[in-house]
A = this chain, B = another copy of it.
Amino acid sequence: MRTNELRKLLEEVKDGQIEVDKALDHLKELPYKDIGIAKIDYHRELRNGYPEVIYCEGKSIDHIQQIIQEMLKGNNNILATRAKEDVYQAVKEICPDAAYHALARIITVKRKEVVTPDSYIAVVTGGTSDIPVAEEAAITAEMLGNRVERIYDVGVAGLHRLLGNLEIITNAKVIIAVAGMEGALASVVGGLVDKPVLAVPTSIGYGANFHGLAALLSMLNSCASGVSVVNIDNGFGAGYMASMINKL
Q: Measuring CB to CB, which residues of chain A are less than 8 angstroms from any residue of chain B?
A: 1-3, 6-7, 10-11, 13-14, 16, 20, 23-24, 27-29, 31-32, 36-39, 41, 45, 53, 57-59, 63, 67, 126-129, 131, 152-161, 163-167, 170, 173-174, 181-184, 187-188, 190-192, 194-196, 198, 201, 203-234, 236-238, 240-241, 244-245, 248
Task: Verify B208–A157 contact, CB threshold 8 A.
Answer: no
Assuming the A-B contacts A59-B128, A207-B212, are A29 and B158 also in contact, with contact meaning beta carbons closer than 8 angstroms in the complex?
no
Q: Could you tell me the distance between the alpha carbons of A36 and B153 in the complex, rounded to whole angstroms? A: 9
Q: Give every chain B residue within 8 A of A216 (Cβ-Cβ).
A: 207-208, 220
Q: Could you tell me the distance between the alpha carbons of A31 and B240 in the complex, rounded to whole angstroms? A: 34
Pull 27 A–B residue pairs with CB atoms less than 8 Å apart, ordered by A. Answer: A1-B160, A6-B27, A7-B24, A31-B164, A32-B161, A38-B152, A39-B152, A39-B153, A39-B158, A58-B129, A67-B128, A127-B223, A173-B248, A181-B223, A182-B217, A184-B187, A184-B222, A184-B223, A194-B244, A201-B207, A206-B232, A207-B231, A209-B217, A209-B221, A220-B232, A226-B244, A228-B237
Besides the contacts A196-B248, A215-B221, what 17 more A-B pairs have beta carbons closer than 8 Å?
A1-B163, A28-B163, A67-B128, A155-B223, A156-B224, A157-B187, A181-B222, A182-B187, A182-B222, A184-B187, A206-B234, A208-B231, A214-B217, A216-B220, A225-B236, A226-B241, A245-B245
* Chain B, Cβ-Cβ closest to A129: B58
Q: Could you tell me the distance between the alpha carbons of A6 and B6 in the complex, rounded to whole angstroms? A: 12
